[in-house]
């Protein structure tokens, strides 16, 4: 795997590549935990690198304690051995290679929670205590940092029902962001392909995380979430599964429709979105946050996908190249309403003390999605300017 190194900050370029390779070697090592127990030096180089990159990406100042041994509490926040100070200064994220490296590592651990119909040996270390520790180490630092990005504590005093209704009304018909306008009015076919490549990482396995919150006690809320899941999965018919519509878009352009084919193009902000979903769906303590995030996603998708559909129409693309957007513009209007009326509001009623966490999940997902959208637009523009530069050079060489 090759990291995207198109950044002005090349100071970590070599290290990130080296450390990701070291992680790959560990990930597929037979009997990983046993081998580490016999030979602790096996992980030393990777551990040293991880600590440096974690510190560089998320922490400011000296570490009070070794973050490798820190633990989040039941809220997912640091207790006890936390660094002296986590930076909320976005300037610290100007270490994109570090963030990218961390999210790629995290994604590669998280993806083991899903089955990919590949070699069974790829799952040999899915229960590894060491991988679990690395995952917690990255998630703890990253989630603490993310929690600093929004003032979620003030949500505890908000009227949750009103807060939810106001948010949904706003996000069903939002003002156009600069990215929305760019996608709708300016994106070229080259850019459209880049958009598909990046979005395919989630689009080809969409709603996978939702599958992980369906089990457990039966009630009206659980039934509605299951109903939404079944619609995402085409009611058990592959041709109607939403991801099949994404494959059709890729096929229309002769692009690779194998999941993760374009992993190397995915910005850290998009990986963070996916990793955040993995983080929440696997922790029942964060069930309310996960559902708040899902509410935002279902509510906001129609307005954002309308721009992609209009871009496709402006570019004269075929139905197969835009049907995925069309499907979601219709379906997610309904899913958003179901999520509000039959999931979020009943959950708020049932968990009055913690109902504000639904708002937290909602607001955080909104923040993550906007950040990812900006990163995708940036990448699309880069693809377009690379293409322009390439044709310019070709023209010069013809002359």
Binding residue (CB under 5 A) for Fe ion from 332, 357, 363, 384: 332
From the CB of 98, what's the least distance to Fe ion, in Å?
32
Which residues does residue 78 pair with via DSSP β-bridges, in sequence order?
Answer: 72
From the CB of 123, what's the least distance to Fe ion, in Å?
26
From the CB of 273, what's the least distance to Fe ion, in Å?
15
Binding residue (CB under 5 A) for Fe ion from 104, 135, 335, 371: 335
CB-nearer residue toward Fe ion: 144 or 207: 207
Which residue pairs from 72-80 have beta carbons closer than 8 angstroms and sit at least 24 positions apart in sequence?
A: 72/136, 72/139, 72/140, 72/143, 72/144, 74/285, 75/285, 76/139, 76/143, 76/279, 76/283, 76/285, 76/286, 77/143, 77/144, 77/147, 78/140, 78/144
How many Cβ atoms are within 10 Å of 163's Cβ, its own excluded?
A: 18
- Report how many residues bind Fe ion under the rule CB under 5 A: 5
Considering only 38-46, 59-67, 292-300, 367-375, which stretch makes contact with Fe ion by CB under 5 A? 292-300
Considering only 6-14, 169-177, 245-253, 331-339, which stretch makes contact with Fe ion by CB under 5 A? 331-339
Stretch 217-246: interaction string toward Fe ion, x if CB under 5 A: ---------------x---------x----
Considering only 27-35, 178-186, 311-319, 333-341, which stretch makes contact with Fe ion by CB under 5 A? 333-341
Considering only 66-74, 183-191, 285-293, 295-303, which stretch makes contact with Fe ion by CB under 5 A? 295-303
- Helix (H/G/I), strand (E/B), else coil: 72: strand
Burial 352-374 (b: 16+ CB within 10 A, else e): eebbbbbbbbbbbbbebbebbbe
CB-nearer residue toward Fe ion: 202 or 232: 232
* The dihedral sign for the CA sequence 248, 250, 254, 260: negative
From the CB of 249, what's the least distance to Fe ion, in Å?
13
Q: Does 202 bind Fe ion (CB under 5 A)?
A: no
Distance CA 272, CA 295 (A): 18
Place of tokens 């929440």: 280
Considering only 121-129, 214-222, 324-332, 361-369, which stretch makes contact with Fe ion by CB under 5 A? 324-332
CA dihedral 169, 175, 179, 184 (to 10 degrees): 100
From the CB of 337, what's the least distance to Fe ion, in Å?
11
CB-nearer residue toward Fe ion: 180 or 332: 332
Place of tokens 């976005």: 90
From the CB of 285, what's the least distance to Fe ion, in Å?
25
CB-nearer residue toward Fe ion: 179 or 332: 332
10-to-3, 14, 16, 95, 117 alpha-carbon distances in Å:
11, 8, 10, 9, 36
Q: Which residues of the chain form contacts with Fe ion (CB under 5 A)?
A: 232, 242, 298, 332, 335
């Amino acid at each position: 795997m090759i990291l995207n190194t198109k950044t002005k900050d090349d100071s970590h370029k070599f290290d990130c590549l080296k450390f990701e390779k070291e992680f790959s070697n560990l990930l597929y090592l037979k009997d990983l935990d046993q081998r580490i127990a016999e030979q602790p030096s096996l992980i030393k180089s990777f551990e040293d690198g991880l600590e440096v990159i974690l510190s560089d990406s998320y922490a400011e100042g000296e570490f009070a304690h070794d973050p490798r041994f820190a633990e989040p509490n039941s809220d997912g926040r640091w207790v006890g051995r936390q660094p002296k100070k986590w930076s909320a200064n976005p300037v610290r994220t100007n270490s994109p290679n570090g963030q990218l490296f961390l999210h790629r590592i995290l994604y590669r651990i998280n993806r083991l929670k899903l089955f990919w119909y590949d070699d069974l040996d790829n799952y040999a270390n899915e229960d590894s205590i060491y991988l679990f520790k690395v995952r917690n180490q990255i998630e703890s630092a990253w989630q603490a940092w993310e929690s600093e990005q929004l003032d979620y504590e003030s949500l505890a005093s908000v009227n949750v029902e009103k807060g939810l209704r106001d948010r949904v009304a706003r996000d069903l018909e939002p003002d156009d962001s600069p990215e929305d306008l760019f996608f709708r009015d300016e994106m070229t076919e080259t850019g459209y392909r880049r958009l598909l490549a990046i979005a395919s990482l989630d689009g080809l396995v969409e709603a996978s995380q939702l599958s992980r919150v369906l089990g457990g006690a039966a009630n009206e809320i659980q039934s509605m979430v299951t109903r939404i899941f079944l619609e995402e999965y085409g009611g058990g018919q592959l041709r109607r599964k939403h991801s099949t519509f994404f494959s059709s878009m890729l096929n229309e352009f002769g692009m690779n429709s194998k999941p993760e084919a374009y992993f190397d193009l995915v910005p850290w902000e998009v990986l963070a979105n996916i990793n955040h979903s993995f983080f929440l769906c696997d922790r029942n303590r964060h069930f309310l946050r996960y559902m708040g995030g899902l509410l935002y996603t279902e509510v906001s998708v129609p307005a954002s996908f309308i721009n992609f559909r209009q871009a496709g129409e402006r570019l004269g693309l075929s139905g197969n190249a835009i049907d995925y957007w069309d499907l979601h513009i219709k379906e997610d209007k309904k899913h958003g309403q179901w999520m509000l009326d039959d999931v979020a509001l009943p959950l708020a009623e049932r968990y009055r003390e913690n109902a504000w966490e639904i708002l937290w999940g909602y607001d955080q997902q909104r923040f993550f999605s906007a950040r990812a959208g900006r990163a995708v637009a940036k990448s699309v523009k880069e693809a377009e300017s690379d293409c322009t530069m390439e044709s310019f050079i070709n023209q010069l060489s013809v002359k």
